[in-house]
Structure 1
Amino acid sequence: MGSLSTRRLENYRKLLAENEHNNATMAEKRAKQRAFSKMVNTVQKQSRSIKSSLIDQ
């Protein structure tokens, strides 16, 4: 068996990820963006809750 340099393997993995991103349908992209937005909103809500509870003390 042949050997493969680490650099080439990383580049191959990067190209696979890029290809997957480019082939995603609009619905998949929208769903992924919604999930990310929901996570951001949840974290912000938790942060505000913690800050307000610290101020109330």
Structure 2
Amino acid sequence: MSAGFEGRTLVIATMHRKEEVIAPLAEKYLGVTCQVPLHFDSDALGTFSGEVERTQPP
């Protein structure tokens, strides 16, 4: 049930530890290796709480 993704790298662009939930499932069911980029600031794109306004839809 891997949909042809075996052996690929999946980049999880987050800074709020969502990879702790996403990575194990993606690795198990898609056969990928997960990485989180260092120094990636997803909040710069806007926050759901509104502290940083979104200029584009999610």
Larger Rg: 1
> Same fold, TM exceeding 0.5?
no
**TM-score using structure 2 length:** 0.20
**TM-score using structure 1 length:** 0.21
Which structure has more strand as a fraction of its residues? 2
Which structure has more helix as a fraction of its residues? 1
